[in-house]
Amino acid sequence: MILVLLGAPGAGKGTQAKKLASEYRLPHVSTGDLLREAVAAETELGNKAAGYMDSGRLVPDDVMLGLIDELLDRPEYEGGFILDGFPRTVPQAEGLDAMFEDRGITVDSILLLDVDKELAVKRLTARMSCPKCGAVYNSATKRSKVEGVCDVCGSTLATRTDDTRETVEARFDEYRRLTEPLVEYYAEREAFHSIDAGRSIEDVDRDVREIIDTGRGR
Ligand code: AP5
């Protein structure tokens, strides 16, 4: 099964993708996480991406398309995967369609998590995440049991450097300018669904699973 999660910064893509990965036993491909790992390891990709990410801009399409194209050939993705944060522009979506066509695979569900800017900014400026295992928390809606400590692995939680109000605003502007046009790109497809992501994590998860399970029985 192949799932694509679209949505603004703070819509809950990562949160829902992690739940779906565990519920459907699918690998979770987060382009944001892959880029952050590359930045931390100071690889060629990381060095190219760092400046864009720090200022809230999107990394160029050719870099992202190369990354995904290489990844889709790995054996661990043969049985399907969840794409979180890709595609993010119309050229990325066109490139992804071409990659799928070349490999004879089709996407099962394209899920837009829809959230308004005010709520997204509120969520992101309260987000904490674990630099070691990737677990995500929120000081308003999803606290760790011990403040500042990861429930899963016990590491010290950190705030993402691009979660300042100023950079979140810039990321949201990029979303509106470059990613929102994907709604029109995908609107006519049977696989495309828009979900109100302004509700609780559990409510969103329930709707997402209902859509996926209905689609599977189609
Ligand atoms: P990326 O890491 O993908 O960031 P993003 O898209 O801005 O999304 P976020 O991770 O901030 O939000 P999310 O929707 O995953 O929300 P989350 O579940 O964490 O990308 C970072 C950067 O990398 C980009 O700016 C760009 O530079 C670059 N990049 C990545 N992909 C790219 C691409 N394809 N092309 C070009 N550049 C690319 O939730 C947020 C918070 O809210 C958490 O605290 C969570 O606990 C809480 N929360 C989640 N859901 C709910 C809910 N329903 N109710 C209450 N709280 C909730």
What would the pLDDT profile of 100-116 be if each residue is shown by its tens digit?
999 999 999 999 999 99
Judge if the beta carbon of residue 142 lies within 6 A of ligand 1. Answer: yes
Task: Please report which residue ranges of the chain form alpha helices under DSSP H.
Answer: 13-24, 31-40, 44-54, 61-72, 90-103, 117-124, 165-174, 181-186, 201-216
Is the pLDDT reported for residue 205 higher than 90?
A: yes
For the question of residue 143 being annotated catalytic, the response is no
**What percentage of the chain carries pLDDT values higher than 70?**
99
Confidence at residue 134, expressed as pLDDT on a 0 to 100 scale:
87
| Distance (Å) from CA 77 to ligand 1 centroid | 22
Contact 123, 137 (CB under 8 A): no
The best mutation among 4, 6, 13 to test binding of ligand 1, ranked by most ligand atoms within 8 Å of the C-beta, falls on 13
Confidence at residue 91, expressed as pLDDT on a 0 to 100 scale:
98
CA distance 77 to 82: 9
Confidence at residue 215, expressed as pLDDT on a 0 to 100 scale:
78
Residue 188, token pair as written in the block: 């006519």
Judge if the beta carbon of residue 34 lies within 6 A of ligand 1. Answer: no
| Distance (Å) from CA 14 to ligand 1 centroid | 6
Q: What is the pLDDT of residues 36-85, one digit of tens each?
A: 999 999 999 999 999 999 999 999 999 999 999 999 999 999 999 999 99
Confidence at residue 210, expressed as pLDDT on a 0 to 100 scale:
96
Judge if the beta carbon of residue 31 lies within 6 A of ligand 1. Answer: yes
> Coil, strand, or helix at residue 188?
coil
Question: Could you tell me the pLDDT band of residue 217, with boundaries at 50, 70 and 90?
Answer: low
| Distance (Å) from CA 164 to ligand 1 centroid | 13
Edge-to-edge strands, sheet with 109-114: 28-30, 81-84, 2-7, 109-114, 192-196
Contact 86, 68 (CB under 8 A): yes
Question: From the candidates 13, 19, 36, 123, which is the catalytic residue?
Answer: 13
The best mutation among 55, 59, 163, 176 to test binding of ligand 1, ranked by most ligand atoms within 8 Å of the C-beta, falls on 59
φ/ψ (deg, to 5) at 190:
-60, -30
Q: Taking all residues of the chain, what is their mean pLDDT, rounded to a whole number? A: 95
Q: What is the pLDDT of residues 114-163, one digit of tens each?
A: 999 999 999 999 999 998 888 999 998 899 999 999 999 999 999 999 99
For the question of residue 218 being annotated catalytic, the response is no
Residue 119, token pair as written in the block: 């709520």
Max distance between CA atoms of the chain, in angstroms, equals 48
Question: Could you tell me the pLDDT band of residue 216, with boundaries at 50, 70 and 90?
Answer: low
For the question of residue 189 being annotated catalytic, the response is no
Judge if the beta carbon of residue 17 lies within 6 A of ligand 1. Answer: no
Dihedral class, residue 7 (left if φ above 0, else alpha if ψ from -120 to 50, else beta) = left
Atom nearest to 142 CA in ligand 1: 46
Is the pLDDT reported for residue 218 higher than 80?
A: no
Atom nearest to 56 CA in ligand 1: 25
* Residue 149 DSSP one-character state: B
For the question of residue 171 being annotated catalytic, the response is yes
